[in-house]
Amino acid sequence: MEVQPLPSLRTIGRILRRRKLTHRRTGRYILKGKKYPELPALLPNQPHQVDLVGPCYPTGPIRFYSLNAVDTAIKRCGIEAMPSKAAQSVLDAIYALWLRMGIPENLQVDNELAFYGSPTHPRGMGPLIRFCLRYGVDLWFIPPSEPWRNSLVEKFNDHYQQKFLDKVPMVSMPQLRKESLAFEHRHNSTYRYSKIKGKTPLKALADMEKKLIFPSKRDAPKHPLDKPEEGCYHLVRFIRSDLRLNIFGEIFSAPPETQSEYVVATIDVKEQKLKLFLETIQVEEYKYQMR
């Protein structure tokens, strides 16, 4: 029997296009049917989404970073300008936000180096991890390359850029901090959101009558902080076909049932263990000696 030659890739492509079997993806790729471990957001300060923006170059001579936070339940925002991404600057900014917004139960961030510490020492617990554990806050790291998991603060960042950075000229850090606080208050007292029934964030906060918890001292603790002896922090990760679980560059083997699923890797500081959860079920446990 004579073997027919295979058609060229160009011919195959033409046939597929003619039959409308191809299309180009224009948006982000969504994994359909994959359950993502969302944090509860029913009451104020259940979770805060936090993001580091910068370096920023407003209409003026200064260069800075901004730590932006959004309370996902009531859309209340916090803005804190920073001269750099140094550890103490990050701690000072987070603490300043907590002095105004209150201490959240959960703090959700991306995998920015300034948030988790050092890829050379992934078990060393960076400054923000130690800071959150010190105040009993559960710190959550979203999956790498999935910024939409912090969608509320990412959307707020666009608003901050268009309505503040692009319009207000800055000549000094004191002026920047003053203008940032004014913009923060203007947003929280005048912007209305349909998801909170057309209320402003401050009106929603008042109506919910939840007692907020604030830091007891005016100044942030100084870096380096002591290593915590208890508490947990979490990483949400998507497990692909290679069953690799990446914890800040350190690779662990995930069990087969986690393939193509989102998992929560919880690091228990007291027990020195890494616990892996699929939805609410623990499916694996690893020794995780802190260093």
Domain ranges of the chain: 47-208, 232-287
With 60 as the cut, is the pLDDT of residue 32 above it? no
Predicted pLDDT at 113: 93
With 90 as the cut, is the pLDDT of residue 24 above it? no
Could you give the CA distance from residue 85 to residue 91 in angstroms, rounded to a whole number?
A: 10
Tokens read off for 38: 């969302």
Q: Which of 217, 152, 156 is nearest to 184 (CA)?
A: 156
Residue-wise pLDDT tens digits, 180-231: 999 999 999 999 999 999 999 999 999 998 999 999 999 999 999 999 999 9
201-208 and 173-190 helices, crossing angle to 10°? 60
* Confidence band, pLDDT 50/70/90 cuts, at residue 19: low
With 80 as the cut, is the pLDDT of residue 132 above it? yes
Give backbone dihedrals phi and psi of 277, rounded to 5 degrees, phi first: -120, 135
* Confidence band, pLDDT 50/70/90 cuts, at residue 158: very high
- Residue scoring higher pLDDT (18 or 39): 39
With 80 as the cut, is the pLDDT of residue 95 above it? yes
Mean pLDDT along residues 39-56: 95
With contact defined as beta carbons under 8 Å apart, do 62 and 173 qualify? yes
Q: CB neighbours of 18 closer than 8 A, spacing ≥ 6?
A: none
3-state class of 272 per DSSP?
A: coil
Mean pLDDT along residues 67-77: 98
* Confidence band, pLDDT 50/70/90 cuts, at residue 27: very low
Q: What is the mean pLDDT of the chain?
A: 90
* Confidence band, pLDDT 50/70/90 cuts, at residue 145: very high
* Confidence band, pLDDT 50/70/90 cuts, at residue 170: confident
Highest mean pLDDT among 23-27, 28-32, 114-118, 136-140: 136-140
* Confidence band, pLDDT 50/70/90 cuts, at residue 29: very low
Model confidence pTM above 0.95: no
With 50 as the cut, is the pLDDT of residue 28 above it? no
CATH for the 47-208 domain, from 3.40.1280.10, 3.30.420.10, 3.40.50.2020, 3.10.150.10: 3.30.420.10
Mean pLDDT along residues 48-67: 88
Q: What percent of the chain has pLDDT over 70?
A: 88
* Confidence band, pLDDT 50/70/90 cuts, at residue 261: very high
CB count in 10 Å sphere of residue 184: 22
Strand partners of residue 69: 50, 78
